[in-house]
Amino acid sequence: MTAPVDVSLIVIVVVITALVFDFTNGFHDTANAMATSIATGALRPKVAVLIAGVLNVVGAFLSVEVARTISSGLVDEARISPVVIFAGLIGAIIWNLLTWLLGLPSSSSHALFGGLIGATVVAAGLGAVHFGAVLSKVILPAIVSPVLAGIIALTATYLAYRTTARADSGTVTKGFKAGQIGSASMVALAHGTSDAQKTMGIITLTLITAGVLSPDSGPPFWVILSAGLAIGLGTYLGGWRIIRTLGKRVSEIETPQGFAAEASTTAVILTSSHLGLALSTTQVATGAIFGAGSGRRLAAVRWSVARQMVVAWILTLPAAAAVGAVAAWVASAGTVGIVLVAVVAIALAAGIYAVSRRRPVTADNVNDVGDDAAVAHEPAVPAR
Amino acid sequence: MTIDWASLGLVSVVSLAAGVAVVVLVSFALVGLSARVRPRPGGAEDGAPTLSAGAGTAIAAVCLAAVVAIVGFGLYVIVS
């Protein structure tokens, strides 16, 4: 594993930034796999994030299907430089941190795409963005996938309650708890295969742009390893704010619902990933949790929380694009500009972290939503 | 601009079938396993026609085997 000697400083900076993004992607998305398992008590919080972290690393090694699609689809690779990729990543990281602070499960993939598109437009003009590909590969699946996952989870939840209505309740609860451990693990594994690959795609794209790799080559081993470890570590640290939102604020999730949500998420992610569609795990998982919440009783879902999420989802791509565009504009001034962007980004990240410490959400208080405004104002219907 | 409606449709149908199938199979398995627990006398289930413990266990085993097969295929899909 020797780095080629002609790798310039900017390429190294981009690789590091990409791994930082991968890390934020991990802790932003722990909730996708584990929120409902933690909420129902199927897994203790610390155990849940450990399992999710390990399976994300494992998942990163299992497939390289998506990595090729992303690095050769959305933007014209011949017309963007490592500086553009760096600026795009900065946009994605800042938006990920901001939405984490607010506890909103926005899509890390959309933040990444948004950042890249914004930076590309500034550096190479509108013509370097393949808007057709953006629409068909990113925006359309983003609209379809949460609705699809929601419908599957709703159907599955309804049938699960109908089927087990007269069965022994102790057996049912224990059974679905055991099932949740399996289904949550599958989501974490699928997340590793789909999201770690996005970072691999970006790093590979950079290396191709810098001429280190030949066009159309796959990610080298060290890229797969570091991307897997970064996302696994991020996942292990756990984005407790988002876990609380998805596990407790959306609805009062019971074990059959948690199992149905996770099974639906896994089914959608795996089938789409197999066909090379880059779906947002976050949007699929969120859609499934809303579907599972509605499957027991429509009124059991807090739609005010849903509205916040939809706003965040719509804003994600343009907001990350705006940050990416500004970063690209500053970074185009050369080394000084790149250093300036990096310093400002680090300062912003530190500031967001400092604000988060005022009301920290941790493994110990993640299920405690007594002081939450949305929960207080829109109480979910009590269990049957 | 081309939208791959065929892929999107395939994803919808396959994931709907797989997701619902897994949950329903597990539900049936749990109904089967419930037969091993004696219904409470005077409870909602008392006097209702129930499965024998053996039949319930057999149904649960068949359902869970089907779930394992689907999950196994899911893992195969990730790896391939």
Collect all residues of chain B within an 8 Å Cβ-Cβ radius of residue A149.
15
Chain segment A317-331, per-residue pLDDT in tens: 899 999 999 999 999
More confident residue, A187 or A238: A187
| Amino acid at site A129 | V
pLDDT of A70 reads 45
pLDDT of A369 reads 77
Domain boundary assignment for chain B: 8-38+50-79
pLDDT of A68 reads 57
Q: Which of A69-78, A103-112, A367-376 has the lowest mean pLDDT?
A: A69-78
| A77 CB burial (10 A radius; 0-12, 13-18, 19+) | middle
User: Is residue A28 over pLDDT 70?
Assistant: yes
| B38 CB burial (10 A radius; 0-12, 13-18, 19+) | exposed
pLDDT of A276 reads 67
More confident residue, A272 or A372: A272
Q: In this structure, what token pair is assigned to residue A225?
A: 């390893």
CA torsion through residues A82, A86, A91, A97, sign: positive
Collect all residues of chain B within an 8 Å Cβ-Cβ radius of residue A259.
23, 26
pLDDT of A304 reads 87
First to last CA, chain B: 29
Chain segment A57-106, per-residue pLDDT in tens: 998 888 765 455 444 467 776 777 888 889 999 999 999 999 999 999 99
User: Is residue A216 over pLDDT 80?
Assistant: no
Share of chain B above pLDDT 90, in %: 29
User: Is residue A158 over pLDDT 50?
Assistant: yes
pLDDT of B48 reads 55
Radius of gyration of chain A (CA): 20
User: Is residue A156 over pLDDT 60?
Assistant: yes
Q: What is the mean pLDDT of residues B20-25?
A: 93
| B interface with A, Cβ–Cβ below 8 Å | 1-4, 7-8, 10-12, 14-16, 18-20, 22-24, 26-31, 33-34, 36-37, 39, 44-45, 48, 71, 74-75, 77-80
More confident residue, B49 or A179: A179
Collect all residues of chain B within an 8 Å Cβ-Cβ radius of residue A148.
11-12, 15-16
pLDDT of A384 reads 40
Collect all residues of chain B within an 8 Å Cβ-Cβ radius of residue A143.
none
Q: Do A136 and B77 touch (CB under 8 A)?
A: no
SS3 content of chain B, % helix, strand, coil (to 5): 70, 0, 30
Closest partner residue to A166 (CB to CB) among B15, B45, B71 is B45
Q: What is the mean pLDDT of residues B3-23?
A: 86
User: Is residue A113 over pLDDT 60?
Assistant: yes
**How confident is the prediction for chain A on average, in pLDDT?**
85
Q: Do A267 and B19 touch (CB under 8 A)?
A: yes
pLDDT of A100 reads 92
Reduced to 3 states, what is the DSSP secondary structure of residue A75?
strand
Return the residue of B nearest to A148 by Cα.
B12
First to last CA, chain A: 58
| HSE value, Cβ hemisphere, 13 Å, CA-based, for A229 | 7
pLDDT of A4 reads 41
pLDDT of A171 reads 87
pLDDT of A271 reads 85
Share of chain A above pLDDT 70, in %: 90
Chain segment A347-366, per-residue pLDDT in tens: 999 999 999 888 888 878 88
Bridge partners, A75 (sequence order): A129
Q: Do B77 and A259 touch (CB under 8 A)?
A: no
A231 pLDDT band (50/70/90 cuts)? very high
pLDDT of A376 reads 62
Q: A340: closest CA among A328, A355, A354, A350? A: A328
Q: What is the mean pLDDT of residues A9-25?
A: 91
Q: How many CB atoms lie within 10 A of CB A10?
A: 18
User: Is residue B50 over pLDDT 70?
Assistant: no
Q: A180: closest CA among A54, A289, A62, A27? A: A289
Share of chain A above pLDDT 90, in %: 37
